[in-house]
Structure 1
Amino acid sequence: MITHEAGAPVPPANGRFAPWTTELRATFALAWPLVVAQVAQNALQATDVIMMGWLGPEALASGTLASTFLMPFFLLAVGIVGAVAPLTAQARGARNVRAVRRIVRQGFWAAIVLTLVLTPVILQIRTVFAILGQDPTLTARAEEYIQIAVLMLLPALGVIALRSLLSSFDATRVILVITVGGVIANAIGNYLLMFGPFGLPRLELRGAAIATVCTNIIMFGLFLTFVLRHRRFRRFHILLRFWKPDWPRFREIFRIGTPIGLTVLAEVGLFTAAALLMGRLGTDEVAAHAVALQCASLAFMVPLGLGIAATVRVGVAYGRQDAEGIRLAGWTAFALGTAFMVVSALTFLLFGPAIVTLFLDPNVPENQGALVLAASFLAIAGIFQLVDGAQVVAAHALRGLSDTTVPMMMAIFGYWLVGLPIAYVLGLVVGWRGIGIWIGLACGLAFVAVLLVSRFAMRERLGLLRPR
């Protein structure tokens, strides 16, 4: 029997495809706000980049260096705290109210521990950049930004814990509203603090950092207020006896979450390495790569949102030990993700030359080489979309089963020992240049997609449905 709420079963409909239709509706209702929220989260980061660019190339370069240094640490922490999502979904399926409270509480504990551990490391940016031979002037300005921006770690990770709780109980619209509000607040804060209108001090990069910190504090406050006051969530009393440890669940968050964080780092690292390979080919290749990657990243938000929904739906079914529910949830999300990626692939293949003109002015003669390359990369990105969507949905479905360690190893192997070597050989040795690099990325993602989808398909044979 399919359920939308723990304890609130949906009466079975008549017809062979009724269970699939019910699951399709439930997954879509859960996923679409998450998709839009992911796009809004990207817009928040894009706002920072755009406004830093208004300050000039030096400020943009410094801010980019600072963000590049901060992001791997942040993504690792987000992956760890993000383990709250599958665990709370499983607790919901098992109708264990006390477990929900303890999981979220230990998610906050994990956020505090990670902040205490990572903050001193992040503050060593000047030392690290000096060893890497970065420009001293840019390093000094990047350090100014980091010294303030690092304060966003705790509230941002708190937001991840609360978002995980809300998404596990299908309350995704509030996630959308607060995230969009955060984008608006961040843009206003950036303008006021970076440029100093109306007699305010002009703080430039430090103003951007302050706006980022304040935005995350506001978002955390709004999420926490909602959870503490809304009748569906106040019953969990998530702050009750906050000081009381629950070491088994604390360890479980790190056991499940650390592989998630490392998987994300491996994928981000793959695309960073691809950008470095492009840098060896020339300016046009780098510009074209940036355009194609931006388009692919925007389309990727849809299967990512569906993947988060898959974690919840699979996790709830797993918590109530419903093997049929797990099957329906996983394959429905996979079908939705694949269907969208087919549409985006066709869009890139058919309209790629027109799309890239949104980023590069075709009337500027110097842009002609980059435009041709970007359209070529986007055509390959169309095929790339299919496997990228498949691997992200499959990975998230497996997270709903608390299966993260083996998928992490599959991802690292596929990205770094399949995708990157192929990209290097085809791009730089065979001489296919940027097209060869993009083919390598597609091969790596395809390899991982096949492994992860196969693992989900063989979940019973592999013993992944046994209660933990």
Structure 2
Amino acid sequence: MTSISVSPVRAEMRAFLKLAIPLVSAQVAQSATGFVDTVMMGHLGWKILAAGGLASFTFQVFLNILSGIVLGVSPLIAEAYGAGRKTRIEQVTQQGLWLTVGLSISTMWVIAHMDVLMLQLGQVPETVTLASTYLKVMLWGLFPAVGFAMLRGVVSGLSQARPIMFIVIGGTLFNIVGNYVLGFGRFGFPRMELAGLALASTLSWWGMFLVLVIYLFKHPQLRIYRLFQKWYQLRLNLLWELIVIGVPIGVSISFEYGLVLVMTYLMGILGTDVLAAHQIALQTGMIVFMIPLGMSFATTARVGQWFGWQNLEGIKRAGYVSSSIVVGTTILVAIALLTFRQQVIGLYVDINNPENAQLLKLVIPMLSVVAIGHIFDGLQKTALGALYGLQDTRIPVLFGIVAFLGIGLVSGYVLGFYIGLGGVGLWVGYYLGSVAAATLYVWRFGNLISRKIGKFD
């Protein structure tokens, strides 16, 4: 390969990593909030681990779906940035705030009544009572969490993602200290257990959101965009455009995370010990998944910017460079997880305690499946990010239905309950869905590129 052909690839790699590294760091740090919550839940008791993990992931599902909907700002901002349309950037952000408020208020009501649904889904009453304690505090952190996700999409589209990393790291450190102080009752504070963990996380979300807003006001390169001026003006046409792009993203996420949520409730039916083991595998999988997830945000921004510049070669290069980097990274993570399974589990529970022997027996094979499946999960998420950069959001919804519901849920249920693989079978089914999704998304991206040849000439 000549230097002429290599140079654009290297340039794309540098541009991608400049965006991806802070976004990945921010996602990992943000996920550490749930990780720290889970670790501390484990030290409060395995019943609290089961209930708190169920509640925490339930909240995360709602948050991720809403964050996906407001993520519609990212490809629109990236395209406008590439095309040099300053007013468009301001108006998209302002309507993103309206969308954030509306989604948050309606979803808070749903979260407040999740205890009724949990009981109907066959969860143990004691588990539901403990989970509700967490959720009824945590719901007050939904608006700042969704608002932060929306503004993160704005700064990513403007190629100014570095501050996100520092803000999230600061919020995570605050949450860790808050968990310890409020959860266990240190330094004169009452021992609030699950409610304390939820309160610390809620305060952390508010802090991160407000700091990001201040940053957007103060940063010299960002304050030229009057993002919050005339925020009160409702532009229905632009709001509808955001909804048309964002809702399919949210629906796609709902299939993916909804499948994991259904898995979690099915784990509860299999037994509290299986549910506790699942929480360890799930939380570990969530943390490592933040790496390709952050990279997918960078992929959306890079593809979206090339789309705004109407450069087909740039779009292709951005998509394939990001996918290659993600596959390489996820393979390294998978090897590390397989090598250090015992050490990873030891972060959550005392593996030398005889009382945890059954838990250890259940979680080791689950963690092995998570390690291998992570490679395919990373590829499907990055390919999906490339499609979002092209503002292609509706067809991927259909692919998500086929992959995660038609293949993932059905195969997981059959493997787990009919073949008798239990929790491991449910995890295998989920990753079969990821394999199908990765195949479909990569095919779709290549197909769109071939159809656009000559369009930008």
Could you tell me the TM-score, scaled by structure 2's length? 0.88
Q: Equivalent residues in 2 for 1:146-225 (5 A)? A: 146-225=135-214
Report the Cα distance in structure 2 between the residues aligned to 1:365 and 1:196, rounded to whole angstroms.
Answer: 28
> CA-atom RMSD, angstroms?
3.1
Are 1:232 and 2:221 counterparts?
A: yes
* Aligned match of 1:402: 391
Report the Cα distance in structure 1 between the residues aligned to 2:285 and 2:184, rounded to whole angstroms.
Answer: 32
- Cα gap change, 1:409 to 1:194, in 2 (>3 Å): same
Report the Cα distance in structure 1 between the residues aligned to 2:268 and 2:128, rounded to whole angstroms.
Answer: 21
Select the structure of larger CA radius of gyration: 1
Equivalent pair of 1:82/1:257 in contact (CA under 8 Å):
yes
* Aligned match of 1:307: 296
The one of 60, 73, 76 equivalent to 1:71 is 60
Secondary structure of 1:341's aligned partner: helix
Amino acid at match of 2:154: L
Report the Cα distance in structure 2 between the residues aligned to 1:465 and 1:398, rounded to whole angstroms.
Answer: 19
Moved more, 356-365 or 447-456: 356-365
Higher relative contact order (CA 8 A, sep 6+): 2
Are 1:101 and 2:90 counterparts?
A: yes
Amino acid at match of 1:98: T
Moved more, 282-291 or 239-248: 282-291
Report the Cα distance in structure 2 between the residues aligned to 1:167 and 1:465, rounded to whole angstroms.
Answer: 28
The one of 410, 428, 440 equivalent to 1:451 is 440
Amino acid at match of 1:388: D
The one of 20, 24, 27 equivalent to 2:9 is 20
Amino acid at match of 2:218: R
Q: Equivalent residues in 2 for 1:205-284 (5 A)? A: 205-278=194-267
- Cα gap change, 1:122 to 1:349, in 2 (>3 Å): closer
Equivalent pair of 1:401/1:464 in contact (CA under 8 Å):
no
Amino acid at match of 1:168: G
Moved more, 292-301 or 104-113: 292-301
- Cα gap change, 1:136 to 1:360, in 2 (>3 Å): closer
Amino acid at match of 2:247: T
- Displacement, 1:56? 5.1
- Displacement, 1:249? 1.7
Amino acid at match of 1:106: Q
Report the Cα distance in structure 2 between the residues aligned to 1:465 and 1:210, rounded to whole angstroms.
Answer: 55
Report the Cα distance in structure 2 between the residues aligned to 1:109 and 1:272, rounded to whole angstroms.
Answer: 28
Moved more, 199-208 or 19-28: 199-208
Report the Cα distance in structure 2 between the residues aligned to 1:71 and 1:382, rounded to whole angstroms.
Answer: 21
* Aligned match of 1:333: 322
Are 1:43 and 2:32 counterparts?
A: yes
Moved more, 434-443 or 277-286: 277-286
Report the Cα distance in structure 2 between the residues aligned to 1:201 and 1:288, rounded to whole angstroms.
Answer: 29
Report the Cα distance in structure 2 between the residues aligned to 1:260 and 1:51, rounded to whole angstroms.
Answer: 32
Could you tell me the TM-score, scaled by structure 1's length? 0.86
Equivalent pair of 1:459/1:465 in contact (CA under 8 Å):
no
Unaligned ranges ≥5, structure 1 = 1-12
Are 1:319 and 2:323 counterparts?
A: no
Secondary structure of 2:331's aligned partner: helix
Equivalent pair of 2:35/2:283 in contact (CA under 8 Å):
no
Q: Identity over the aligned pairs, expressed in percent? A: 36
Which stretches of structure 1, 4 residues or longer, exceed 6 Å deviation after superposition?
464-467
- Displacement, 1:354? 6.4
- Cα gap change, 1:186 to 1:332, in 2 (>3 Å): same
Report the Cα distance in structure 2 between the residues aligned to 1:461 and 1:284, rounded to whole angstroms.
Answer: 50
Moved more, 436-445 or 19-28: 436-445
Instruction: State the aligned residue count.
Output: 455
Report the Cα distance in structure 2 between the residues aligned to 1:352 and 1:158, rounded to whole angstroms.
Answer: 36
